[in-house]
Amino acid sequence: MKRKVAFLLWTLLILSGCGGAGSVIEYNDNFVAVVKECTDSTQDLFNLYQAEDSTLDSIIVALEKSIEICENSESKASKMWDFEKDSSLKDAVVDLLSTEVDYLSQFKSTSRFRNTDNLTEEDKEAYNWVVSELYQAEDLLNSKFASLQSIQEAFAAKHGLKLDTL
């Protein structure tokens, strides 16, 4: 009888998503949700940044909030388990979110130049350097997104997960 109960419990665990195919779906979906938290906050920030009626103060508040959200997302991702001793997806997500935080921090350093009509030569030089660094950070972030997509596809293939496509 105990063997039947143990077998039944094990079967329920597998069917409930704590093991088997259900858990790989849940595992992937958890990472997708964590990345989405960060990218949604970043998109909201850039929508505000491009709005004509936005103020520097509102942008800085949104930027700090977005950095906080992305740091929290990175923390959540780093605390998640490895799926069947495979940390590839987790590692890629943490790396992406860390890069997003770095990018947003770089972006924050441009805020002192917003709405400044008359920059000194020294400020123009500083601005050009900051913007150059920001473009490099953006390129790195874009490459991390592409890398994550490749890693997610390999992870899905390895663990029998069919990814949704657009």
- In terms of phi and psi (left: phi > 0; alpha: psi -120 to 50; beta: otherwise), the region of 17 is left
pLDDT digits (tens, 9 = 90+) for 19-73: 444 588 899 999 999 999 999 999 999 999 899 898 888 999 999 999 999 999 9
Cβ count near 20 (within 10 Å): 14
Return the top range by mean pLDDT from 2-16, 43-57, 93-107: 93-107
What would the pLDDT profile of 117-153 be if each residue is shown by its tens digit? Answer: 778 888 888 888 999 999 999 999 999 999 999 999 9
CA distances to 19, 22, 28, 87 from 11, rounded to whole Å, are 9, 12, 21, 25
pLDDT of 13 > 70? The answer is: no
Distance CA 31, CA 86 (A): 14
Global pTM reads 0.80
Q: Are 86 and 159 in contact (CB under 8 A)?
A: yes
Q: What percent of the chain has pLDDT over 70?
A: 83
Quickly count: other Cβ atoms within 10 Å of residue 92's Cβ. 23
Separation between Cα atoms, residue 74 and residue 70, nearest integer Å? 6
